[in-house]
């Protein structure tokens, strides 16, 4: 018996915002003071660290639940299932639906219920709920889906990660250049197979000591803004230092539990938050086994898609699975690792056999 991803789908928004589109931005320090360097230098340094050249934004009339629905349709079609047989719809996000040019987050009803409504599923036994777990939310949804299936509570689950981060940032904060929109979805099913494949092991952790508020909601860096509106904020250096230590360890614990060797790992799918950070994570992961990182093991989409939070890994996996990312592919029997880190501070990992 195997619990595996039988279908994938992603929605990549159509609006492209390039780095040069931020040249006229009025970036400020956290204390409201101006930078003593020009925006072209800020952007050049930003590109060298994050790898981001451009990012995608949703069209004004679309919300996170709409993006989730579009990705879900593709995953259901790819899995060739009857959507009325879906037992759980789990949608990972952080901010709900935020309509363009508004400040209020809308999560009533849940995004999962909205996706079920848009899909037209009539079966009341298809249960819907949202998960707030930071950027690792989609992975955690997959872990939960596996648990439902293992316990006999479900046979088929739809797990989605969707976000519109372009509507949550402070335009005065240079971190605004990181954020993007998108959605990725997957069908998780129980399959009767002689050779075990699918999810082999998993690991989840939450660190809530000094790390708790590395990502948080804070006011604009513009001291003249008296609206008290809150925006996504982060202590970038602290997140980086936290991630490169704890994500590799969680991945090692996860892989060791699977009883497969590090030499069996063909691809590592990491949350697309920062190119340099992801490279450091995978290098440290292999170093834990006294190995050099193999070439072409780390697919990256952040350069063109930016950081869409919970959507990055399912979107990246869908792209590689469908041969839409240059020089990356998967074949049956490949061992791959998934790993993520985000607000909470949460970390998780999955060992998976294609």
Does residue 199 contact residue 347 with C-beta atoms inside 8 Å? no
Q: How would you classify the pairing of strands 2-11 and 15-18?
A: unpaired
**What is the mean predicted confidence (pLDDT) over 145-162?**
97
Q: Can you give the pLDDT at residue 214?
A: 97
- Kindly indicate the confidence band of residue 1, based on its pLDDT and cuts at 50, 70 and 90: confident
Q: Does residue 336 carry a pLDDT above 80?
A: yes
Length of the chain: 354
For range 186-210, the mean pLDDT: 94
The percent of residues above 90 in pLDDT, for the chain, comes to 94
Question: Is it the case that residue 195 has pLDDT exceeding 90?
Answer: no
Question: CB-hemisphere CA count at 13 Å for 114?
Answer: 20
What band does 209 get if pLDDT is binned at 50, 70 and 90? very high
From CA 193, how far away is CA 201, in angstroms rounded?
17
Domain coordinates in residue numbering, the chain: 2-191, 198-353
At the topology level, CATH places domain 198-353 in Peroxisomal Thiolase; Chain A, domain 1 (3.40.47)
Judge whether 2-191 and 198-353 match in fold. Answer: yes
What is the DSSP secondary-structure string of 9-32? Answer: EEE--SEEEEGGGGTT---B-TTS
Give, for 203, the enclosing helix (H) or strand (E).
Answer: strand 198-206
Give the pLDDT of residue 307.
Answer: 98
For residue 72, pLDDT over 80 is answered with: yes
Give the DSSP letter of residue 235: -
Q: What is the CATH number of domain 2-191?
A: 3.40.47.10
Q: In the predicted model, what is the mean pLDDT of the chain?
A: 96
pLDDT band of 309, cuts 50, 70, 90: very high
Q: What angle do CA 186, 189, 194 make, to 5 degrees?
A: 130
**Per-residue pLDDT tens for 18-69?**
999 999 999 999 999 999 899 999 999 999 999 999 999 999 999 999 999 9
Give the helix ranges, DSSP H, for the chain: 39-50, 64-79, 111-119, 137-151, 236-258, 275-287, 302-305, 312-321
What's residue 104's pLDDT? 87
């Amino acid at each position: 018996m195997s619990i595996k991803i039988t279908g994938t789908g992603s929605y990549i928004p159509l609006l492209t915002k390039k780095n040069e589109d931020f040249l006229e931005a009025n970036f400020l320090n956290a204390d409201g003071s101006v930078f003593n360097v020009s925006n072209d230098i800020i952007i050049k340094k930003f590109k060298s660290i994050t790898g981001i050249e451009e990012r995608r934004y949703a069209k004004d009339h679309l919300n996170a639940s709409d993006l989730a629905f579009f990705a879900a349709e593709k995953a259901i079609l790819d899995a060739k299932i009857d959507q009325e047989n879906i037992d759980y719809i789990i949608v990972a996000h952080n901010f709900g639906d935020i309509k363009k040019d508004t400040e209020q987050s809308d999560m009533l009803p849940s995004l999962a219920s909205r996706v079920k409504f848009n899909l037209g599923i009539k079966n009341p036994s298809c249960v819907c709920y949202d998960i707030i777990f930071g950027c690792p939310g989609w992975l955690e949804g997959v872990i939960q889906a596996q648990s439902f299936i293992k316990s006999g509570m479900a046979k088929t689950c739809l797990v989605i990660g969707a976000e519109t981060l372009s509507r949550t940032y402070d335009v005065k904060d240079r971190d605004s250049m990181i954020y993007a929109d998108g959605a990725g979805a997957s069908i998780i099913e129980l399959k009767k197979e002689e050779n075990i494949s699918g999810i082999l092991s998993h690991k989840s952790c939450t660190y809530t000591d000094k790390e708790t508020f590395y990502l948080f909601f804070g006011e604009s860096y513009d001291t003249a803004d008296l609206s008290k509106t809150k925006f996504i904020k982060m202590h970038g250096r602290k997140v980086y230092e936290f991630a490169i230590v704890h994500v590799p360890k969680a991945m090692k614990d996860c892989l060791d539990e699977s009883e497969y060797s590090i030499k069996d790992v063909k691809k590592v799918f990491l949350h697309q938050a920062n190119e340099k950070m992801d490279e450091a994570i995978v290098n440290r992961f292999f170093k834990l086994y006294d190995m050099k990182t193999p070439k072409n093991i780390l697919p990256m989409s952040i350069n063109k898609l930016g950081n869409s939070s919970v959507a990055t890994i399912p979107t990246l996996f869908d792209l590689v699975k469908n041969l839409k990312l240059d020089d990356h592919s998967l074949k049956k029997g490949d061992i791959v690792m998934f790993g993520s880190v985000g607000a909470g501070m949460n970390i998780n990992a999955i060992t998976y056999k294609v």
